[in-house]
Amino acid sequence: MNQPITIIGIGEIAAVLARAFLRNEYPIFPVTRNMDIAVAVNEVPEPLMVVVAVAEKDYPLVMESIPDPWRDRLVLIQNELLPDKWEVYRIENPTILSVWFEKKKGIDTNSILPTPMYGPHAKVIAESLEGIDVPCKVMASADDMLLELVQKNVYVFTINIAGLFLDEGTTTSSLWENHQELALKVANDVIDLQEAITGQTLSGEQLLEGMVKGFKGDPHHICKGRSAPGRLTRAIQLADEKGLEIRYVRDLGQQFE
């Protein structure tokens, strides 16, 4: 029998991963919100991997409570991931996914783009997801994966922040076709912010091309999700921490108050 896989969280993305792993003959040990992780580790002290599939707001508390036997087995899938988000917890060499598929109640899994991943468990995860028709790509290096994380951040921050200032229900295709100037100004500020956080010089042209691929991959995606106001606030807070101007996004923030 294959080693079990622990999944912390039981949301829609966790459900897709669980189905993929089960289809690939890996037993699943779920850790739900009401379970004590310190107790759960005694049940499965040596899983193949531990997937942290909780919401972004729950991520810090969960990461602080990861027991020692699980620390070198982590798989992280949250939006807004960058190395500082795991290094602050002294986690080394986790497996990272930049999730480009969606699953909502009553709707089949929707893949916008192939989901990139990197790390010790990337091969098993890709094999499992592709077994349920979710396209993936395993990256060759940590640097390549960092670019993928930044790419997803540019996409998510741009559509969410821009969506706050457009009609309810505005889609990514409408954003790009009818409000391209807004999208580009927000995206350029987000790219500046990503450069400051990562300490890397990034290709703005490449990131904008990737963002447009995301728009085309799911043209009916609604720009403004529930997390949009929080993302605008976080972008400004992060810019404050880095001493970064991002004037356009700051101006939008003042309008939103």
The predicted structure's pLDDT at residue 10:
86
Task: Take residue 111 and report the two structure tokens written for it.
Answer: 């893949």
Beta strands (DSSP E) in 77-180 are 95-97, 101-102, 110-111, 115-118, 136-138
The predicted structure's pLDDT at residue 77:
97
- CB under 8 Å to 42, separation ≥6 — which residues? none
The predicted structure's pLDDT at residue 106:
72
How far apart are the C-alpha atoms of 250 and 246, rounded to whole Å?
6
Domain boundaries, the chain: 5-139, 151-256
The predicted structure's pLDDT at residue 175:
98
The predicted structure's pLDDT at residue 62:
95
Q: Residue 104 in contact with residue 12, Cβ under 8 Å? A: yes
Class of domain 5-139: alpha beta
How far apart are the C-alpha atoms of 140 and 214, rounded to whole Å?
21
Q: Can you give the pTM of this predicted structure?
A: 0.94
Burial of 29 (0-12, 13-18, 19+ CB in 10 A): middle
Give the residue ranges of the chain where pLDDT is below 50: none
How far apart are the C-alpha atoms of 110 and 89, rounded to whole Å?
32
The predicted structure's pLDDT at residue 247:
94
Residue 74 Ramachandran class (φ > 0 left, ψ -120 to 50 alpha, else beta)? beta
